[in-house]
Every structure is written in C-alpha cells, then in structure tokens.
C-alpha cells in the first residue's frame, strides 16, 4: 500500500465590523467551509465585559446553511457607552467565544472595529456560566497581543 499526500489549504474565519450609524453596527462573517458546529452566534454586551450568554443585549443565531453574511446590531447607544461583540458557537452544554470586537464609548462614524482577541475557550462551560473578560474604558486594543 502506497501513501499519498493530501492537498490541504488554510482557511481563516472572517469576523469584522464597522459602525454604520449612531445606533447601528454591521458585522461581516465567513464561517469555515463545511463546518457543522452546533450553532454559531454573534452576541453583543453593553460595557466591556463578555458575560453570560443569556445576559447579552442582542444575539444573532447563525444557521449551519449560512456560511457567510452580514449582521446588524441595532438600537445601540453609541457615543454613550462601550460594547463588546463575541462570535462563537454553542451546544446544549458548551459555549465557546472565538473572536471579539470592541466598540469604544466614543467611536468615529464608519469606524472599523478592532478585533481584540482571538480565543477559543477549551474548558467546558454550562450555558448559565459567565465568561468575564474585563476591558477598561481607556483600553488600547493594540497594546494587547495575547490573553493567555
């Protein structure tokens, strides 16, 4: 029996966003092709903490048959407080956040959002457990390279 090399390619998950109005943020995403995660989502929390999934200000569920697209988070109080957006997947017993975007309290119109951290939690989390990442109000995303 002869071994044959398999052709491989690298594909990156795309998750980016920008401020489209004084109360709306648009997010573009591209999930890994062929991925069958239990359920992708994008959620936004008021303030600078990624908290429990159930305390999110807004949640967009992304179906398996929707590998890419654009989402809108509306009714935000941009210019009055900061927000953090998390992109991840959930199942009955586990919630994982893989990417985050930070919206400062004083954003510029049409500002591109900073991808603060790329992370995937390896620990099992129950749906009602919180993931608290503190991002101070004067946080400089460029100063943070690795969280762990």
> Which residues touch 59 (CB under 8 Å, ≥6 apart)?
41, 42, 43, 53
Q: Which of 7-21, 22-36, 51-65 has the highest mean pLDDT?
A: 51-65
Q: What is the pLDDT of residue 35?
A: 65
Q: Does residue 9 fall inside a structural domain?
A: no
pLDDT band per the 50, 70, 90 thresholds, residue 5: low
For residue 72, give its domain range: 14-143
**Which has more pLDDT, 137 or 110?**
110
**Which has more pLDDT, 47 or 136?**
47
Instruction: Express as a percent the part of the chain with pLDDT over 70.
Output: 65
Scored b (16 or more CB within 10 A) or e, 135-146 reads beeebeeeeeee
Q: Does residue 4 fall inside a structural domain?
A: no
Q: Does residue 40 fall inside a structural domain?
A: yes
Cα atoms in the Cβ-side hemisphere of radius 13 Å centred on 65: 0
pTM given for the model: 0.69
Q: Which of 42, 147, 36 is nearest to 95 (CA)?
A: 42
Average of pLDDT values for 100-125?
70
Q: Are the CB atoms for 84 and 47 separated by under 8 Å?
A: yes
Q: Does residue 3 fall inside a structural domain?
A: no
**Which has more pLDDT, 127 or 76?**
76
Q: Does residue 122 fall inside a structural domain?
A: yes
Q: Are the CB atoms for 108 and 60 separated by under 8 Å?
A: no
Q: Does residue 1 fall inside a structural domain?
A: no
Q: Does residue 148 fall inside a structural domain?
A: no
Q: Does residue 136 fall inside a structural domain?
A: yes
- When divided into structural domains, the chain yields a total of 1
Q: What is the pLDDT of residue 107?
A: 86
Q: What is the pLDDT of residue 84?
A: 93
CATH number at residue 67: 2.60.40.10
């Amino acid at each position: 029996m002869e071994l044959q090399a398999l052709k491989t390619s690298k594909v990156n998950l795309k998750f980016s966003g920008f401020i489209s109005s004084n109360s709306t943020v648009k997010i573009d995403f591209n999930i890994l092709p062929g991925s069958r995660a239990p359920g992708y989502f994008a959620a936004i929390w008021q303030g600078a903490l990624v908290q429990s999934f159930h305390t999110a200000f807004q949640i967009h569920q992304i179906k398996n048959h929707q590998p890419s697209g654009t989402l809108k988070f509306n009714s935000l109080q941009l210019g009055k407080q900061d927000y953090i957006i998390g992109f991840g997947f959930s199942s009955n017993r586990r919630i994982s956040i893989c990417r985050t975007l930070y919206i400062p309290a004083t954003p510029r119109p049409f500002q591109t959002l900073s991808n603060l951290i790329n992370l995937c939690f390896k620990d099992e989390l129950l749906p009602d457990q919180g993931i608290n990442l503190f991002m101070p109000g004067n946080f400089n995303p460029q100063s943070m390279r690795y969280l762990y």
